[in-house]
Amino acid sequence: MNRQKSSYKPLSENSAIALAVRLNLFPAGSDLHCREIGDGNLNLVFHIADKSSDKGFIIKQALPYAKVVGESWPLSLDRARIESSALQKQAETVPALVPRVYYTDDSLAVTVMEDLSHLKISRTGLIGGENYPLLSEHIGEFLAKTLFYSSDFALEPSAKKELVKKFTNPDLCKITEDLVFTDPFFDHDTNDFEEELRADVEALWADTELKLETAKLKRKFLTEADALIHGDLHTGSIFASDTETKVIDPEFAYVGPLGFDIGQFIGNLLLNSLSKPSQEQESLFQHIDTTWEVFQREFSKSWERDSLEVFTRTEGYLQHVLTKAFEDAVGFAGCEIIRRTIGLAHVADLDGIADKNRRIQAKQQALALGTALIKERTSITQTKQLRSYFAQVAAS
């Protein structure tokens, strides 16, 4: 890996091509084409390809501020180091499920990685009616292996502490602390919702039981250093096809609670279900079932085979860890559903519902579902139960 010093400057399409040439990514004399394709909230993403072949690369560069808000929201460039390091760490256990990293430059906040343009962002595909038969099998495996092998169950204590140090990510964690766990539950100026939702939102802000349960979940996010988590595992962070899955964008990675990524993924599948007619919802519920089944199966296999922690051989400990992770995941899913409905960063699954009445209704259902998941997470012990909670809010 070549890490060289350079002073930071945002790339343009032309300077991205110049960088690709300097790095010899393409054969000399190639006729290159570059386009900035970043549609996320934070970064520049350049797609560079040889005009005469299919060969291409992605050059991703962090900006020193949140692109979605502008320069008034400064953000550390260190997230580029976090993202490329997390991709490399994940590749140790799930190489087929993450893009390959070819080059990083921390001072330029640049990562050069595999071009995945033969795949589609899974949120877009799911909204368009694609099913992705292997999505949940792959994500269940991704979760089990990335989480288990970065936890105290698999690492020597000193290696685990080094991991915590390397992935200390205060700016990006603060975004999640604010946008996922705090602002949507108060009358905060980052919130964004239709006036038709005001009565529901004001009821949510006045719900003291909901606030107490959300405070407990936020505390977990602030304090529980279980494993290296992706930190933003929504369906927009996953490229997919019928046969392949690649998890991208781990710039929010830090050592956090086991249930967080699981909850964000489940929450986004539920958001997608809320946008669908009932006959199209079952395949999404099956994805939730499979994610959790595969996660449990693979995590348990690794636990039996590769644990270093002596208590992993104590009867009942694995079940305790899995039960807690699921309970937390359900609560985190609830927070994700609420923040994607009334917080700063929405999702196309709900915002893209063209009929306004239907959109408002789906958002009201999302608020009710998110609230139920947060408040009742201790009674929800199996993914199958999510169907009945979903059915209750869909009937209201």
Q: Is 43 annotated as a binding residue?
A: yes
Task: Tell me the three-class secondary structure of 106-157, residue by residue.
Answer: CCCCEEEEECCCCCEEHHHHHHCCCCCCCHHHHHHHHHHHHHHCCCCCCCCH
Which residue blocks in the chain are alpha helix, DSSP H? 13-22, 78-93, 122-127, 135-148, 157-166, 170-179, 198-205, 208-223, 259-274, 282-306, 317-342, 348-351, 356-375, 384-395
Q: Which range touches ligand SR1 (CB under 6 A), out of 40-48, 163-171, 203-211, 321-329?
A: 40-48
Whether the Cβ atoms of residue 257 and residue 152 lie closer than 8 Å to each other: no
The sign one gets for the Cα dihedral 11, 13, 19, 22 is negative
Smallest distance from ligand SR1 to CB 249, Å: 7
DSSP annotation of 163: H
Closest approach, Cβ 40 to Mg ion, in A, equals 5
Nearest to ligand SR1 of 40, 56 (CB atom)? 40
**304 carries a ligand binding annotation:** no
Element (H, E) at 65: strand 65-66
59 closest CA partner among 10, 98, 94: 10
Q: Which is nearer to Mg ion, 123 or 276 (CB)?
A: 123
Element (H, E) at 36: strand 32-36
Q: For ligand SR1, give the closer residue by CB, 123 or 160.
A: 123
Site for ligand SR1 in 141-180 (CB under 6 A): 175-176, 179
Given ligand SR1, Mg ion, none, residue 49, with its beta carbon under 5 to 8 Å by kind, binds none
Binding mask 364-383 for ligand SR1 (x = CB under 6 A): --------------------
Among 83, 152, 232, 349, binds ligand SR1 (CB under 6 A): 232
391 binds, among ligand SR1, Mg ion, none (CB under 5 to 8 A by kind): none
Within residues 88-127, the interface with ligand SR1 by CB under 6 A covers none
Q: Identify which of residues 110 and 330 has a Cβ nearer to Mg ion in the complex.
A: 110
Q: Which has the closest alpha carbon to 32: 44, 45, 47, 43?
A: 47
CB 61 within 8 A of CB 109: yes
Q: Does 80 bind ligand SR1 (CB under 6 A)?
A: no
Of 343, 173, 142, residue with least CA distance to 262: 142
Nearer to ligand SR1, 41 or 283 (CB): 41
Tally of CB atoms within 10 A around 156: 11
Residues 6+ away with beta carbon under 8 Å from 208: none
Which of 199, 205, 210 minimizes the C-alpha distance to 187? 205
Q: CA–CA separation, 77 vs 81, rounded Å?
A: 8
Q: 226 a known binding residue? A: no
Residue 115 assigned as binding residue: yes
Whether residue 161 is annotated as binding a ligand: the answer is no
Residue 217 to residue 332: CA distance in whole angstroms = 7
Minimum gap (Å) between residue 188 Cβ and ligand SR1:
14
Which spans of this chain sit near Mg ion (rule: CB under 5 A)? 40, 249
183 binds, among Mg ion, ligand SR1, none (CB under 5 to 8 A by kind): none
* Smaller CB separation from ligand SR1, 41 or 286: 41
Rule CB under 6 A: say whether 345 interacts with ligand SR1: yes
Which range touches ligand SR1 (CB under 6 A), out of 14-22, 37-45, 133-141, 192-200?
A: 37-45
Under rule CB under 6 A, residue 41 binds ligand SR1: yes
Q: Name the residue whose CB lies closest to Mg ion.
A: 249
Burial class from Cβ neighbours inside 10 Å (0-12, 13-18, 19+) for residue 144 reads buried
Stretch binding ligand SR1 (CB under 6 A), from 36-44, 101-109, 110-118, 122-130: 36-44
The distance of closest approach from Cβ of residue 49 to ligand SR1 in the complex, given in angstroms and rounded to an integer, is: 25
| Rounded CA separation 394/396 (Å) | 6
Query: Any contact of residue 201 with ligand SR1 (CB under 6 A)?
Result: no
For residue 268, say whether it is annotated as part of any ligand binding site.
Answer: no
Return phi, psi of residue 389, to 5°.
-65, -40
- Nearest to ligand SR1 of 340, 363 (CB atom): 340
Q: Is residue 66 at the binding interface for ligand SR1, with CB under 6 A as the rule?
A: yes
| CB closer to ligand SR1 out of 56 and 343 | 343
Binding residue (CB under 6 A) for ligand SR1 from 18, 37, 68, 215 = 68
Residue numbers in the known binding site for substrate are 232, 339
By the criterion CB under 6 A, which residues form the site for ligand SR1?
Answer: 40-42, 66, 68, 175-176, 179, 232, 345
